[in-house]
């Protein structure tokens, strides 16, 4: 061993003195320092030889030497020692996994709901979808599936910002309700009182009165995106005829069935159209005063443009610009990520929006300017903000029931009587996303109903869906069925709120949201 070390040392002195010594000594001399002596080279060679000797000796014994322990770097985080495979720690929680504190209580509902969302996403080919669920005012699950940005592979997460489309109408309704509660807005006087430049309307030669209440519930007669009103009327007549055939049969139809005769829907529609044309001709031929085809407020015609007029009414009644007034409401409701959609501002976590072309290829949607319809379909938001909004509405709806048992409760953002008015179905309206319901005031409402014992039980809930260029959305509120005994030792809000947003247009999400709400309501009911 001694001879081996001596040989290594001698080689290090002779060869290493040129390789190390020359280069290092030259650099030392270039720096203007005193010349290095031969002892420096010898010491380096001796140290290198000893190190190599130790390594060779360890190899001869068949054991690898333990690596020296390095001093910890203050800027490098400590790393945990590797564990055996069976003891490896679980992956860190990410925004795409359920919120840990509450996920265990609703594990079954979360698994079922996640599977349902995967099915819907795959069925429609949506790039990304985000869901949020709260129970009794607490967020218990939020998760993103797929991509918010396909090109850059940015995954969806609870913080992803998307277009909420027509849920914007429900937000605008809060502004109207606050002004109505303050006595600054009358819902039943002509809109010209607030917006005098809006022209008076006529129908069939007679003036009609357009009020704020009629605008809210889409009964004013102001059209939607479709410009051809004849086409709109034909579609509505066909739907009305189809609904009539599905719900009731006249005595004449019964006789035809007995005789074996049955007319198809197209013939019925053609007859209805001929009768409508004949009535129009008859009215035009009469010299007397013309009458409206329907009484004001009796025909439902969904209109986003009507909410643009409501935004102008909010401005005149409040004295603020519409967006400024809405930002104050968002601040009060703690909806800090909800903003109007604009192209220029940098909005963190904003998703991209997609559509399929004629070849069924995924493409980016064209640029759209939604500033003309902020009030009816132009806001951006997250599932978390929508949950906050839904719970604020649910709290105001229920707080009146709890006042007698708990006088220390804070008031709701809207009064109980206001929320009762907003969530009361309006006659002669339709709820396109659930035929069981009616449109109320910027919300669709399905009332509690059970026709037969031990059969289907229809739950009371309120919701609004949204559809925009490259986006679909829903916000659904399922209140708890409360009685006098259930109120004791409980606090509002009581119920389940579900919000879903998606960066693909024409995706029906209300039925999915209702199924998810019922899953969480079941887990909630099974708890002691």
Extents of the domains making up the chain: 106-165+337-526
Reported as half-sphere exposure (CB side, CA atoms, 13 A), residue 333 has a value of 29
Which of 510 and 64 is assigned the larger pLDDT?
510
Backbone angles phi, psi at 199, to 5 degrees: -65, 150
**Which DSSP state fits 509?**
-
Please state, rounded to an integer, the average pLDDT across all residues of the chain: 79
CATH number assigned to the domain covering 106-165+337-526: 3.40.710.10
Closest-CA residue to 523 (of 488, 497, 496): 496
* Residues whose CB is less than 8 angstroms from the CB of residue 191 and which lie 6 or more positions away in sequence, other chains included: 198, 210, 211, 212, 215, 309, 313
Cα gap 139→133, rounded to integer Å: 6
Cα gap 520→250, rounded to integer Å: 43
Residue owning tokens 């998703």: 351
* Residues whose CB is less than 8 angstroms from the CB of residue 120 and which lie 6 or more positions away in sequence, other chains included: 126, 129, 507, 509, 512
Burial class (CB in 10 A: 0-12, 13-18, 19+), 415: middle
Q: Is 428 left (phi over 0), alpha (psi -120 to 50) or beta?
A: left
Residues 52 and 7: beta-carbon distance below 8 Å: no
The stretch 110-128 carries a mean pLDDT of: 97
pLDDT, tens digit (0-9, with 9 covering 90-100), for 218-242: 999 898 886 565 666 666 566 656 6
Q: What is the CA radius of gyration of the chain?
A: 36
Please say if the pLDDT value at position 321 is more than 90: yes
Residues 338 and 380: beta-carbon distance below 8 Å: yes
Residues 180 and 418: beta-carbon distance below 8 Å: yes
Cα gap 426→302, rounded to integer Å: 13
Reported as half-sphere exposure (CB side, CA atoms, 13 A), residue 59 has a value of 6
Please say if the pLDDT value at position 404 is more than 50: yes
Lowest-confidence segment of 323-337, 397-411, 507-521 by average pLDDT? 397-411
pLDDT, tens digit (0-9, with 9 covering 90-100), for 269-310: 343 343 344 333 333 433 333 333 345 677 899 999 999 999
Residues 402 and 409: beta-carbon distance below 8 Å: yes
The bridge status of strand 162-163 relative to strand 201-203 is: unpaired
Q: Which of 134, 166, 318, 473 is flagged as catalytic?
A: 166
Please say if the pLDDT value at position 85 is more than 60: no
pTM attached to this predicted model: 0.72
Angle at 24 between CA 21 and CA 30, to 5 degrees: 125
Is 166 known to be catalytic? yes
pLDDT, tens digit (0-9, with 9 covering 90-100), for 235-270: 656 665 665 565 554 455 444 444 444 444 344 434
CB atoms inside a 10 Å sphere around CB 96: 14
pLDDT score of 97: 46
Cα gap 496→91, rounded to integer Å: 30
Please say if the pLDDT value at position 105 is more than 80: yes
């Amino acid at each position: 061993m001694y001879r081996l070390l001596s040989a290594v040392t001698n080689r290090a002195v002779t060869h290493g003195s040129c390789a190390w010594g020359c280069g290092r000594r030259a650099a030392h001399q270039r720096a203007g320092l005193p010349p290095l002596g031969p002892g420096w080279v010898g010491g380096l060679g001796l140290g290198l030889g000893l190190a190599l000797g130790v390594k060779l000796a360890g190899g001869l014994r068949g054991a690898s030497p333990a690596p020296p322990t390095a001093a910890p770097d203050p800027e490098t985080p400590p790393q945990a020692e590797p564990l055996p495979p069976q003891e490896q720690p679980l992956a860190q929680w990410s925004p795409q996994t359920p919120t840990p504190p509450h996920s265990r209580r609703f594990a079954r509902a979360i698994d079922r709901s996640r599977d349902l969302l995967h099915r819907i996403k795959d069925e429609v080919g949506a790039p990304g979808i985000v869901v949020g669920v709260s129970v009794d005012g607490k967020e218990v699950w939020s998760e993103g599936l797929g991509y918010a940005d396909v090109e850059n592979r940015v995954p969806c997460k609870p913080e992803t910002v998307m277009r909420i489309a027509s849920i914007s109408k429900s937000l605008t309704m809060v502004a109207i309700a606050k002004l109505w509660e303050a006595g600054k807005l009358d819902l039943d006087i002509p809109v010209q009182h607030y917006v005098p430049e809006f022209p008076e309307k006529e129908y069939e030669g007679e003036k009609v009165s357009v009020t704020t209440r009629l605008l809210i519930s889409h009964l004013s007669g102001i059209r939607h995106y479709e410009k051809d009103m004849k086409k709109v009327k034909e579609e509505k007549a066909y739907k009305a005829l189809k609904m009539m055939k599905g719900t009731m049969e006249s005595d004449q139809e019964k006789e035809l069935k007995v005789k074996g005769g049955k007319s198809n829907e197209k013939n019925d529609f053609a007859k209805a159209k001929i009768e409508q044309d004949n009535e129009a001709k008859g009215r035009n031929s009469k010299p007397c005063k013309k009458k409206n085809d329907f009484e004001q407020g009796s025909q439902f015609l969904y209109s986003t443009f009507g909410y643009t007029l409501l935004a102008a009414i909010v401005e005149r009644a409040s004295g603020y610009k519409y967006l400024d007034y809405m930002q104050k409401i968002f601040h009060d409701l703690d909806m800090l990520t909800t903003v109007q959609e604009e192209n220029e501002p940098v909005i963190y976590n904003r998703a991209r929006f997609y559509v399929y072309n004629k070849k069924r290829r995924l493409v980016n949607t064209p640029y759209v300017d939604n500033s003309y319809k902020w009030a009816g379909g132009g806001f951006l938001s997250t599932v978390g903000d929508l949950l906050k909004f839904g719970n604020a509405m649910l709290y105001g709806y229920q707080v009146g029931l709890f006042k007698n048992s708990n006088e220390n409760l804070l008031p709701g953002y809207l009064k109980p009587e206001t929320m009762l008015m907003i969530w009361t179905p309006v006659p002669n309206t339709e709820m396109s996303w659930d035929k069981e319901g009616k449109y109320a005031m910027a919300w669709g409402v399905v009332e509690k109903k059970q026709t037969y014992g031990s059969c289907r039980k229809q739950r009371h809930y309120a919701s609004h869906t949204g559809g925009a260029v490259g986006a679909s959305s829903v916000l659904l509120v399922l209140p708890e069925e409360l009685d006098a005994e259930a109120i004791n030792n409980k606090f509002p809000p009581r119920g389940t709120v579900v919000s879903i947003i998606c960066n693909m247009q024409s995706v029906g999400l209300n039925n999915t949201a209702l199924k998810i709400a019922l899953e969480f309501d079941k887990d909630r009911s099974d708890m002691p």
